[in-house]
Amino acid sequence: MKIICKDSTEVIVEIPKGVSKIGVMLSGGMDSSLLLYLLLKEITDNKKNMNLTVFNVPNVLDNAIFFSKRVVNYLEDYFSVKLELINIGDGTLAHNKIIRTPSREIEEKKYVEKLFVGINQNPPVEFPISGPWRRDPDSPIPPFYIFPFIRLYKNHILEMYEKYNIMELCYLTHSCTMSTGIRCNNCFQCYERAWAFEQLNIKDDNKYGT
Ligand SMILES: [Zn+2]
């Protein structure tokens, strides 16, 4: 599928031809949860025969295992599917390192043929806290990986939640990397999420403690 954002940014979420086993990294945050939604939509809309595995790194700082499970449960109901959720990697590593080692393990053990990851870019504004390193969108992408959101900012992500009328799912996601419950409002990811909601002039409902 091809999605065109309001500022003409294009997002392409496609499963390459001939591939029947894909994986997606899910943290329980906004980006990866949307990516999982879009992949499930792509598969069900096109009646693709696809084996999809969801991988979660059980990050202890933000209780990723709880939020990922909540997102998976929601999407299982939404699409009437059963998803395999595998916890992998060292959940005690720093947030910016946490995904690399398990990604390599997934590749080496050939769990799937392609791994989708929802990485994107730090917003083009300054926050009181500097952002994490994020991959240069122009650097070559190793063939095992697919990064459909690599050129996007969080406002594009949020725009897609609105476009597909899945704000309910968005409110279930947890972006804060420093809290296992109600957001701290002081970490980079909290600033980034609040910035995106401001850009779209919508309210971030935190009735779920996100
Ligand atoms: Zn936070």
125 Cα to the center of ligand 1, angstroms = 18
35 Cα to the center of ligand 1, angstroms = 21
53 Cα to the center of ligand 1, angstroms = 28
Phi, psi of 110 (to 5 degrees): 55, 40
Number of domains in the chain: 1
Q: Residue 143's pLDDT is what? A: 95
Q: Is residue 207 part of a domain?
A: no
Strand partners, 177: none
Q: Residue 82 belongs to what domain range?
A: 2-126+138-200
Kindly report the three-state secondary structure assignment for every residue of 97-129.
CCCHHHHHHHHHCCCCCEEECCCCCCCCCCCCC
- H or E segment and range at residue 36: helix 30-45
Q: Is residue 121 part of a domain?
A: yes
How does pLDDT run along the chain (210 residues), one tens digit per residue?
999 999 999 999 999 999 999 999 999 999 999 999 999 999 999 999 999 999 998 887 778 889 999 999 999 999 999 999 999 887 787 766 666 778 888 999 899 999 999 999 999 999 999 988 899 999 999 999 999 999 999 999 999 999 999 999 999 999 988 888 888 889 999 999 999 999 999 999 866 656
Strand partners, 2: 12
Q: Is residue 149 part of a domain?
A: yes
Q: Is residue 19 part of a domain?
A: yes
181 Cα to the center of ligand 1, angstroms = 10
Kindly report the three-state secondary structure assignment for every residue of 176-206.
CCCCCCCCCCCCHHHHHHHHHHHHHCCCCCC
Return the ∠ at Cα 29 (arms to 51 and 178), rounded to 5°: 140
The CATH number of residue 90's host domain is: 3.40.50
Return the ∠ at Cα 170 (arms to 165 and 174), rounded to 5°: 175
Q: Is residue 93 part of a domain?
A: yes
Q: Is residue 132 part of a domain?
A: no
* Whole-structure pTM value: 0.94
Radius of gyration of the chain (CA): 16
Q: Is residue 33 part of a domain?
A: yes
Q: Is residue 210 part of a domain?
A: no
Which of 123, 44, 60, 138 lies closest to 92 in space, CA to CA? 60
